[in-house]
Amino acid sequence: DTEVTQTPKHLVMGMTNKKSLKCEQHMGHRAMYWYKQKAKKPPELMFVYSYEKLSINESVPSRFSPECPNSSLLNLHLHALQPEDSALYLCASSQRGPDLGEKLFFGSGTQLSVL
Amino acid sequence: GDSVTQMEGPVTLSEEAFLTINCTYTATGYPSLFWYVQYPGEGLQLLLKATKADDKGSNKGFEATYRKETTSFHLEKGSVQVSDSAVYFCALFTGGGNKLTFGTGTQLKVEL
Give pLDDT < 70 ranges for chain B.
96-97
Digit-coded pLDDT (tens) for A1-44: 669 999 999 999 999 999 999 999 999 999 999 999 999 899 99
Spell out a b/e string for B34-65, using b for 16 or more CB atoms within 10 Å of the CB, else e. bbbbbeeeebbbbbbbbeeeebebeeeebbbb
Of B36, B93, B107, the CB nearest to A101: B93
Digit-coded pLDDT (tens) for A33-76: 999 999 989 999 999 999 999 999 999 999 999 999 999 999 99
Tell me the C-alpha distance between B63 and B88, whole Å: 13
How many CB pairs lie under 8 A apart between chains A and B? 47
As a whole number, mean pLDDT of residues A97-109 equals: 88
Check if the beta carbon of residue B16 is closer than 8 Å to that of residue B111: no
Contact: B43, A40; criterion CB under 8 Å: no
